[in-house]
């Protein structure tokens, strides 16, 4: 046992080999363990017998891990499902059923645990507005799962789940070090900070007071998210390049993300279509909405620091920094994998809970 200051006792040695944190977001599905992390676009398409037979006949399932069989039901996931024209997105609390949330989470576990696992501890994140559906999330995932992909069949047993609001997890990713054994940035343990998590459909926020989350401050705006910016970008792109895109009934989400981020849409044989103005317009509208949330919490005069999280932060960071006009704005994670910051923070909270919370 390791003794902390003032007699707080934590468990020094514990087995975290079955720890996983899962962040099933509206845009991307993400998971992390102590050793691995993974993500794929939020898309899940059950395949009927005929489609599955066709896919098997083409030999694709041996080459792509986007084809999975979960509890004997075949699915296409991620970009492959998107490219098949997937339209079956479940939103909000309707997602929290075994055949949707459970399957997405099981696929994450399959990618995170190469050997299978019989006793998993999962920390699941959710947008604050879904706090009343934690029991549904638990029902959707607790238990045994069989997952097969690329000929590798493994089983998993999810023994226990804990939950954390996404902006809290994002904040803790900055506050805590890797195994939640210390503070990563001691200078953030004083004053007030604001965490802003810009997700697919929702932007959430929460205050940190002297480094501690103020759970009563948690705020959620379901109308502000990066997916709406992408939709707006798509409309204006189609309007400008009507001739070039007229035969493209489906603009691939991954290409739209590139176009929005870079101002150049990769249009195959047409090369890169310049679309900086369309990108700016879509991003600026979202930046305005996010800065409104920032000002709602008091803005620059009330905050000692600001933490930006979520996939939207990666796209908007430079624009937001200019708009917020605060000298201490940080990303919740490494710039290259900012979208993983919530799952990473959730994993740290699982470590904290194990050391001090008695799970």
Tell me which residues touch another protein (CB under 8 A). Answer: 4-8, 10, 37, 40, 79, 131, 134, 162-165, 168, 172, 176-177, 180-184, 186, 189, 210-215, 254, 261-262, 264, 266, 272, 314-315, 317-318, 321, 329-331, 334-337, 349, 352-353, 356-357
CB of 100 to another protein, least distance (A): 22
Residues 308, 198: contact at Cβ < 8 Å?
yes
CB of 328 to another protein, least distance (A): 8
Degrees to nearest 5, angle at CA 340 with 338 and 341: 70
CB closer to another protein, 124 vs 293 = 124
CB closer to another protein, 37 vs 101 = 37
Structure tokens at 120: 């998993």
CB closer to another protein, 74 vs 314 = 314
CB of 215 to another protein, least distance (A): 4
Three-class DSSP category at 127: coil
Residue 19 phi, psi dihedral angles, 5° rounding: -85, 135
Strands in 188-232 per DSSP E: 192-198, 203-209, 212-221
CB of 258 to another protein, least distance (A): 8
What is the four-CA torsion angle of 351, 357, 358, 359, rounded to 10 degrees? -60
Residue 107 phi, psi dihedral angles, 5° rounding: -65, -40
Q: What CA–CA distances, in Å, run from 210 to 174, 185, 218, 307? A: 13, 12, 16, 14
Q: Hunting for tokens 């999962």 — which residue is that? A: 122
CB of 295 to another protein, least distance (A): 20
CA-CA distance, 286 to 234, in Å (whole number)?
15
Structure tokens at 129: 């507005």
CB closer to another protein, 144 vs 250 = 250
CB of 206 to another protein, least distance (A): 11
CB closer to another protein, 235 vs 252 = 252
CB closer to another protein, 97 vs 317 = 317
């Amino acid at each position: 046992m390791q003794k902390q200051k003032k007699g707080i006792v934590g468990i020094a040695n514990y087995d975290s080999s079955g720890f996983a944190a899962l962040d099933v977001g509206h845009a991307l599905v993400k998971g992390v363990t102590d050793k691995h992390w993974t993500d794929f676009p939020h898309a899940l398409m059950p395949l009927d017998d005929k489609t599955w037979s066709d896919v098997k006949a083409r030999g694709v399932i041996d080459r792509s891990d986007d084809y999975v069989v979960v509890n004997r039901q075949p699915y296409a996931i991620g970009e492959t499902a998107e490219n098949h024209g997937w339209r079956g997105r479940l939103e909000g609390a309707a997602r929290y059923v075994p055949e949707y949330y459970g399957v997405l989470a099981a696929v994450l576990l399959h990618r995170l645990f190469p050997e299978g696992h019989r006793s998993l501890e999962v920390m699941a994140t959710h947008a604050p507005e879904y706090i009343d559906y934690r029991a549904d999330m638990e029902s959707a995932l607790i238990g045994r799962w069989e997952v097969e992909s690329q000929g590798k069949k493994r089983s998993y047993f999810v023994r226990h789940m804990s939950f954390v609001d996404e902006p809290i997890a994002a904040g803790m990713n900055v506050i805590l070090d890797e195994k939640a054994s210390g503070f990563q940035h001691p200078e953030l343990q004083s004053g007030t900070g604001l965490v802003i998590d810009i997700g697919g459909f929702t932007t959430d926020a929460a205050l940190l007071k002297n480094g501690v989350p103020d759970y009563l401050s948690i705020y959620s705006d379901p109308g502000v998210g990066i997916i709406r910016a992408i939709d707006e970008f798509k409309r204006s792109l189609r309007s400008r390049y009507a001739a070039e895109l007229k035969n493209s009934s489906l603009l691939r989400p991954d290409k739209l993300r590139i176009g929005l981020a870079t101002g150049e849409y990769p249009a195959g044989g047409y090369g890169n279509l310049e679309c900086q103005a369309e990108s700016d317009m879509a991003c600026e509208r979202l930046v305005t909405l996010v800065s409104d949330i920032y000002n709602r919490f008091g803005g620059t005069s009330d905050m000692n620091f600001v933490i930006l999280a979520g996939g939207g932060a990666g796209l908007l960071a430079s624009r937001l920094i200019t708009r917020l006009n605060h000298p201490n704005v940080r990303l919740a994670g490494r710039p290259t994998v900012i979208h993983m910051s919530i799952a990473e923070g959730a994993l740290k909270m699982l470590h904290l809970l194990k050391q001090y919370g008695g799970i």
